[in-house]
Amino acid sequence: MRSFTFVCLKMVVFVLMPACLWAQKLDVPAHFNQLLSRAAIEFFEPLDAGYRDIELPENEYLNCQFAIRSRKEDLQIRYFILPWDEDDPASVNPHLATFRALTTIASNADDAVISAIRPEQEVLLRDFNADWGMTYFFTPKPGFSDQPACKMLALCKEGRATVFVFFLFDEPGNVALEVRHLALRFL
């Protein structure tokens, strides 16, 4: 009897497991997939921690092309891809595009602080296959997000794109920031 119960339990798990995995699958919009393909970017879809794609309301600062959220990790991740365009000075100068995005989104409050970290070139190549990159920490403007903290990862691959990944969170010690840091990579 015990053996029969164990076999039945294994069968139930076997049948329900694909449904649970499918529930974790994100609904990545076609236009975002097209941008990823155009810029030859690999998107690392988190299949754990209950991430769900979310629709963001329009804002006057920067409307990201895709966003996901996990209540379990208390983290929202937004993605913005600026494809390389020789006729657009911002797209071929990542430092300019990044400065524009940063000054548009970061709070202008008198006590607001922006911290910047330039990753080592070896790390940029190994982890992201990027030519250039920066990481910033700041408080976003309330019109962009109601989260009190943002980590902005800016990456560029010459001839392909400049990308911004915004990690929005409540607690500065959020361990998910390190786990989700590798959100995408140039091929």
Q: CATH code at 82?
A: 3.40.1000
Kindly report, residue by residue over 144-175, the tens digit of the pLDDT: 998 999 999 999 999 999 999 999 988 877 76
Write out pLDDT tens, residues 116-143.
999 999 999 999 999 999 999 999 999 8
Domains: count for the chain: 1
Specify if 12 maps to a domain.
Answer: no
Residue 131 placed within a domain? yes
Strands 75-83 and 115-117, sheet pairing: unpaired
Residue 157 domain flag: yes
- The whole domain housing 99 covers 29-186
pTM above 0.85, yes or no: no
Gap between the Cα atoms of 59 and 158, Å rounded: 29
What's the rounded Cα separation, in Å, for the pair 21 and 112? 41
